[in-house]
Homo-oligomer: A and B are copies of this chain.
Amino acid sequence: MACQCPPLSEVIPIKVEDEIFRQPLTPLSATYVGHVGHVGHGVTDGALSVSGGQMDEQKEGGTQLKLIIDYPNGIQALFKPMRFARDVQTLPDHFYFSDYERHNAEIAAFHLDRILGFRRAMPVVGRVLNMTTEIYDVTEGDILKTFFVSPANNFCFHGKCSYYCDTGHAICGHPDTLEGSFAAFLPPDEIAKRKVWRHPWRRSYHKRRKAQWELESDYCDTIRQTPPYDSGRRLLDLVDMAIFDFLTGNMDRHHYETFRMFGNETFTLHLDQGRAFGKAFHDELSILAPLLQCCLVRHTTLRTLLTFHNGVPLSESLRVAMDEDPVAPILWEPHLAALDRRLAVVLDAVRKCVDKTAAAAAAAADDNDV
């Protein structure tokens, strides 16, 4: 089937030949929500309209409820609905794979990725919509059958997906006003095909099993010798991603994607941050495993982290960055406070690596002395 989507040059005002995808995804000039509007046109500027479009599809293959929004101009957005208030955290007995997705985690993670200078996440913006006119009235297909009015007289729907898509886990408006996140879509395969990679530090996704990297102390030695991690930027990118995920508390990085057209020379995309910002008072050190096990970090990343550590705190910078989002405040304060605490943990880990390397070098020097 021919692609109905607009050419990439219309979606992102830089030609593919300019190799925007080789380095960051979003332009440096995209400093706040209003400016990133050109990537997901209509999503961010309050001119959103689905009246001529369709909101009739759920994203296929998803484990939790999300909707694809088709705009009249052919642009699409990925909608994730709000389930809980900002201060609701991951249930203590829930694993990372049982955790609910949080729409505000997507918004916050996009801004964090941006201010950290990675710019590998697609723009996401929050918005309050009317479920009746903006979803129900312009929706077709089976999902319509999942709409209902709850005992509290709220308008609800649950869609169809593998987890939490039933009457007992419905998404409900108040009474039909619903907040959600809208993420711009990457260009379709016809324009920029992507490759999906299994993350080498993927978790087991089993409640009683551990992953290989959790059992082998020299796991990084194996990875360092395995393409595409044996050369180029890839391993450094995964360490960046580990730092990014550690800061947000995202344990759900089972796969990652890259654009095919640049082979192994392109950056790793930061896609799907729905399970970030779940535990404000717990720092999950295992997320840092790529950094801890490989003792490797990109110089520019370290420089950026130090800038925040010694200057305007990361929490404050992110708070300001998210201030203009229509559904601000985006994060519960303890999640912002966690960022500064975790940044110090990352820097401490780097310091230990430096010490270890220095000690190893010293030991090597000693050996040479012998």
Within 8 A of B (CB), among A162-180: 163-164, 167-168, 170, 172
A95 and B208 contacting across the interface, CB-CB below 8 Å: no
Assembly CA distance A156 to B97 (angstroms): 16
Residues of B within 8 A of A208 (CB): 148-149
Residues of B within 8 A of A94 (CB): 150-151, 168
Per-position binary interface string of chain A over residues 96-112, scored 1 when its CB falls under 8 Å from any chain B CB and 0 otherwise:
11100000000000000
Is A92 in contact with chain B by the CB < 8 A criterion? yes
Residues of B within 8 A of A167 (CB): 95, 97-98, 207
Contact of A207 among B97, B98, B148 (CB under 8 A): B148
Residue of B nearest to A282 (CB): B151
Is A18 in contact with chain B by the CB < 8 A criterion? no
Is A365 in contact with chain B by the CB < 8 A criterion? no
Question: Distance in Å from the Cβ of A23 to the closest Cβ of chain B?
Answer: 37
Residues of B within 8 A of A172 (CB): 93
Residue of B nearest to A155 (CB): B93
Assembly CA distance A166 to B94 (angstroms): 11
Assembly CA distance A164 to B166 (angstroms): 11
Is A293 in contact with chain B by the CB < 8 A criterion? no
Within 8 A of B (CB), among A143-167: 148-152, 154, 156, 163-164, 167
B152 and A93 contacting across the interface, CB-CB below 8 Å: yes
Assembly CA distance A362 to B316 (angstroms): 78
Number of copies: 2
Assembly CA distance A163 to B95 (angstroms): 19
A163 and B152 contacting across the interface, CB-CB below 8 Å: no
A93 and B207 contacting across the interface, CB-CB below 8 Å: no
Residue of B nearest to A98 (CB): B168
Assembly CA distance A156 to B207 (angstroms): 11
A95 and B207 contacting across the interface, CB-CB below 8 Å: no
Residue of B nearest to A284 (CB): B151
The listed residue with most B CB atoms (<10 A of its CB), out of A93, A94, A163, is A93
A93 and B154 contacting across the interface, CB-CB below 8 Å: yes
Assembly CA distance A96 to B96 (angstroms): 30
Question: Distance in Å from the Cβ of A63 to the closest Cβ of chain B?
Answer: 11
Assembly CA distance A137 to B152 (angstroms): 43
Assembly CA distance A95 to B150 (angstroms): 7
Residues of B within 8 A of A92 (CB): 150-152, 154
Residues of B within 8 A of A150 (CB): 92-95
Residues of B within 8 A of A151 (CB): 92-96
Query: Would you list the 9 A-B pairs with minimal beta carbon distance, nearest first?
Result: A92-B152, A93-B150, A98-B168, A148-B207, A93-B172, A98-B167, A93-B152, A93-B154, A148-B208
- By a beta-carbon cutoff of 8 Å, the part of chain A in contact with chain B is 92-98, 148-152, 154, 156, 163-164, 167-168, 170, 172, 207-208
Q: Could you list some 23 contacts between A and B, CB below 8 A?
A: A92-B150, A92-B151, A93-B150, A93-B151, A93-B152, A93-B154, A93-B156, A93-B170, A93-B172, A94-B150, A94-B151, A94-B168, A95-B150, A95-B151, A95-B167, A96-B151, A97-B167, A98-B167, A148-B207, A149-B208, A163-B168, A164-B168, A167-B207
11 more A-B contacts (CB under 8 A) besides A93-B150, A93-B172, A98-B168? Answer: A92-B150, A92-B151, A93-B152, A93-B156, A96-B151, A97-B167, A98-B167, A148-B207, A148-B208, A149-B208, A164-B168
